[in-house]
Amino acid sequence: MSALASVQRARQNVLMTSLPGSHGVGQKRLNSSKWRWVPPEWNKDPNKELKKKLKDSQLKGGSSPSLQAVPVGDGQGSNRPKVPPRFHTLPPVQLKHPLFQSENRPDLHLAPFQPDLVKPISLNKALQFESGHRTLLTAYGVPRNILHEFRILSKPCSLVREVTLSTTKWLDGAATQPSSAKRAVITGQLGSGKSYLLLQAVEYARKKGYLVLYIPRSLRLVDSSSAYVYDPRTRTYLQPEFSAELLKRFRDVNLQAFEELLTSEDVIISGRRMIPKGTTLAELVRNGTRQEVDAPVVLSALVKELQLQSKYPVVLAIDDFQSLYSQSKYRDARFNTLKAYHLSLPRLLLEFASGRQKFQSGAVLGALTTANSEFRVPLELQEALGLTPDVPSGPYIRRKPELVEYAKGLQNIALPSQMSIAEAAALYELWGKEKVLNDAPTDQTFLRLYTESAGNPRDFVWKGVMGSFST
Amino acid sequence: MHILGVNMPDHKLVRHTLTYFFGIGKHTSARICARMHVHDKCKVKDLTSQQVTALTAFLNAPSSAPLPAHAPLAGVNYRPSAVGKPLNAISQPSRAPEDYKDPLKNLRIESDLKREIRENILHHRLIGSYIGRRHALQLPVRGQNTQSNMKTAKRLNRIERVLEPRKNKRF
């Protein structure tokens, strides 16, 4: 046999051995029934393992039956994790311990949060927010931190501070000035009460009869948690789901005004459907939210109508304000990151926040969130608000012109880093009435908690008052 | 829901269930979701019928899927046209369409990818390379220690790869 023929023969053997079901020359015949190359441990006999374990336990010297090794699992050799038994809650009749007697807490008897009560006489007093059907709290919701506290408190309430009085006084001017002249952002340290102050301002505005559009968690606009679709007309990405929800909530809170105001022109929505001129805004929202795809167009039309009317001042309140100036988590089809102003809803809010669009009377109020590390306050916004930048800010650092434009003219409502003794005492008394404190409230305990928290409201409540359980 | 024979549970995120396809990891899955405009928190039950159709068509033949169209984004001073009126003229993109190199163009999944892997190993064997010889002997191929990796190599390094994958694992 020539060398070439031997190589060819060898190659043929290789091919034959490598193909499934092949029987190579001089090799053991492969059993086609076992032609499934699986690891050896797949063919383990489960009973064999069980016997081995029992034998091992016997060899080690089993003593009392309580110490005898028992195989884990259902004895069938399976390695399924044990599922804990299902726990059933006790019926309320059997919950006799005082810890469960939440209904027996003394009623707080708080005054409602109303404009005529938000005066210097109510300083350092807790006022209760309205909760119920079609109220601000139930329609819009609240930020997560506030929600946790409201779940513990017997009634949703907040303390009237000096900054509350100054902010409400600032809001009083919104009735006579355009919104472009009343644009402010609440800033302060972590846990200093920014979201609470914004909530108080929004409740105050609503009780005064203003139209209120409140977005408590605007991070949800940019964190890729709702659907998005490209619109070639506006060259932005619409968010139909979020727009539809916002429209419904806006209508629920301001229903009376929406049933009075009428549209001034026809509104064309998808499928060549048209909502005629003279329709009430409530009907416009109802027609526009039948299908989510129509919601962005209807929202734009609604905002346009609110810009034309002058009967009701409009307050636009946005928590997590810095999310409007950041990169979103959305991506376009080519995997490029989208900025917040490439999305229709944040862009709409930015237009009003920058004063490029305005209501005839009203205000734009935002609150920063310093707790989120994914969406930090950008340099352009920090410089516009006069804050000390915590990022490199030299002359060689590029500022994005779009963000500079959108942050122009914003005022800063700065919260103090610590609350006063009187405010802290009022807070201590409020939580004391809720029976949160483990020990009896004393001046010593109060001063200790105030000092340990350095006057920070959140630390005072969560680490001080709530952390007062002795271990 | 089943797409191309792969079960995608309705309650799971689309971004995660796409990784159930052989040949799609989390990065490729993110790119596919962006291509179909599927947001990060979208669950399989939230997909629209158009998205499901587009996803199925793409996964069926990724190489023949059309390039994503240029979607111009509005600048700060852009004013859109009124609803129902003709769209504003789009200026030419700064980069020509053919300059865009689509990372998903050469995507192979499932049987195509398995075939390619088998062919690559067979090619090494046919040309008599070191890699081919190590595959044939079921020994480590990439310079690992045989003392510790021989058993793994015995299981994995064959001329003909495993035909049925282990549960929740690909090899």
Q: Give the minimum alpha-carbon distance from B39 to chain A in angstroms, rounded to a whole number.
A: 5
Give residue for tokens 């092949």: A22
Give the lowest-confidence range in A64-73, A214-223, A287-296. A64-73
User: A80 falls in which pLDDT band (50, 70, 90)?
Assistant: low
Taking an 8 Å cut-off on Cβ atoms, the answer to whether A39 and B71 are in contact is no
Interface test with chain A among B73, B85, B87, B135, by most A beta carbons within 10 Å: B73
Q: What is the pLDDT at residue A431? A: 87
Q: Encode pLDDT of A391-420 as tens digits.
A: 999 999 999 999 999 999 999 999 999 999
Q: What is the pLDDT at residue A54? A: 62
Q: Give the minimum alpha-carbon distance from A35 to chain B in angstroms, rounded to a whole number.
A: 9
- Name the closest residue on chain B to residue A296, using Cα atoms: B83
Encoded amino acid at A423, one letter: E
Q: What number is the average pLDDT over the span A145-167?
A: 92
Structure tokens at A117: 């009560």
Q: Encode pLDDT of A175-210 as tens digits.
A: 999 999 999 999 999 999 999 999 999 999 999 999
Per DSSP bridges, beta strands A314-319 and A362-367 are parallel
A392 exposure class (CB count in 10 Å sphere: 0-12, 13-18, 19+): exposed
Interface test with chain B among A6, A36, A37, A236, by most B beta carbons within 10 Å: A37
Please state, for a pLDDT cut of 70, what percent of chain A lies above it: 79
Contacts of A160 (CB under 8 A, 6+ apart): A118, A122, A123, A124, A125, A126, A127, A200
Helices (H) and strands (E) in chain A, counts: 16, 14
Distance of CA A366 to the CA centre of its chain: 16
Structure tokens at A185: 């952002």
Q: What is the mean pLDDT of chain A?
A: 84
User: A36 falls in which pLDDT band (50, 70, 90)?
Assistant: very low
- Name the closest residue on chain B to residue A41, using Cα atoms: B155
Taking an 8 Å cut-off on Cβ atoms, the answer to whether B40 and A406 are in contact is no
Structure tokens at A232: 């070639």
Residue A470 has pLDDT above 60, yes or no: no
**Domain segments of chain B as ranges:** 1-70+101-107, 110-156
Q: What number is the average pLDDT over the span A424-450?
A: 86
Measure the N-to-C terminal CA separation of chain A; round to a whole number of Å.
Answer: 91
Q: Encode pLDDT of A126-136 as tens digits.
A: 999 998 888 99
Residues of A in contact with B55 (CB under 8 A): none
Distances (CA, A) of B48 to A31, A154, A329, A367, B19: 48, 43, 21, 35, 20
CB B25 within 8 A of CB B19: yes
Give the lowest-confidence range in A52-61, A441-450, B144-153. A52-61
Taking an 8 Å cut-off on Cβ atoms, the answer to whether A333 and B35 are in contact is yes
Mean pLDDT in each 10-residue stretch from start to end of chain B (171 residues)? Answer: 90 95 94 94 93 93 85 89 75 60 87 90 93 89 86 78 53 47
Structure tokens at B32: 């596919």
CB A415 within 8 A of CB A193: yes
Q: Does domain B1-70+101-107 have CATH number 1.10.1660.10?
A: no
Residues of A in contact with B83 (CB under 8 A): 233, 267-269, 297
Q: What is the pLDDT at residue A31? A: 41
Residues of A in contact with B75 (CB under 8 A): 402
CB A234 within 8 A of CB A249: no
- The beta strands (E) that lie in A85-234 are given as 111-112, 126-128, 157-159, 183-187, 211-215, 229-231
User: A79 falls in which pLDDT band (50, 70, 90)?
Assistant: low
Q: What is the pLDDT at residue B36? A: 93
Taking an 8 Å cut-off on Cβ atoms, the answer to whether B41 and A224 are in contact is yes
Chains A and B: how many Cβ contacts under 8 Å? 97
- Name the closest residue on chain A to residue B81, using Cα atoms: A233
Global ipTM: 0.85
When CB atoms are compared, the residue of A11, A37, A224 closest to B162 is A37
Assign domain B110-156 one CATH number from 2.60.40, 1.20.140, 1.10.287, 4.10.910: 4.10.910
Residue A223: how many other CB atoms lie within 10 Å: 20
Q: What is the pLDDT at residue A129? A: 93
Q: What is the pLDDT at residue A48? A: 63
Q: What is the pLDDT at residue B32? A: 95
Structure tokens at B28: 């490729």
Rounded Cα gap, residues A456 and B6, in angstroms: 53
Structure tokens at B35: 């291509």
Q: What is the pLDDT at residue B25? A: 94
- Name the closest residue on chain B to residue A271, using Cα atoms: B84
Q: What is the pLDDT at residue A272? A: 72
DSSP for B5-65 reads TEE--TTSBHHHHGGGSTT--HHHHHHHHHHTT--TT-BGGG--HHHHHHHHHHHH-GGGS
- Say which residue, A290 or A315, is predicted with more confidence: A315
Residues of A in contact with B72 (CB under 8 A): 235
Q: Give the minimum alpha-carbon distance from A391 to chain B in angstroms, rounded to a whole number.
A: 25
Taking an 8 Å cut-off on Cβ atoms, the answer to whether B72 and A235 are in contact is yes
Structure tokens at A245: 């929800």
Rounded Cα gap, residues A180 and A163, in angstroms: 22
Give residue for tokens 């819009």: A140
CB A350 within 8 A of CB A380: no
- Name the closest residue on chain A to residue B161, using Cα atoms: A37
- The beta strands (E) that lie in A266-346 are given as 267-268, 274-275, 314-319, 327-331, 337-339
Give residue for tokens 């779940």: A151
Q: At what angle do helices B49-60 and B26-35 cross, to 10 degrees?
A: 130
User: A269 falls in which pLDDT band (50, 70, 90)?
Assistant: confident
Rounded Cα gap, residues A448 and A424, in angstroms: 12
User: A47 falls in which pLDDT band (50, 70, 90)?
Assistant: low
Residues of A in contact with B162 (CB under 8 A): 37-38
Q: Encode pLDDT of A221-263 as tens digits.
A: 999 999 999 999 999 999 999 999 999 999 999 999 999 999 9
Give residue for tokens 């699986």: A38
Taking an 8 Å cut-off on Cβ atoms, the answer to whether B158 and A37 are in contact is yes
User: A14 falls in which pLDDT band (50, 70, 90)?
Assistant: very low
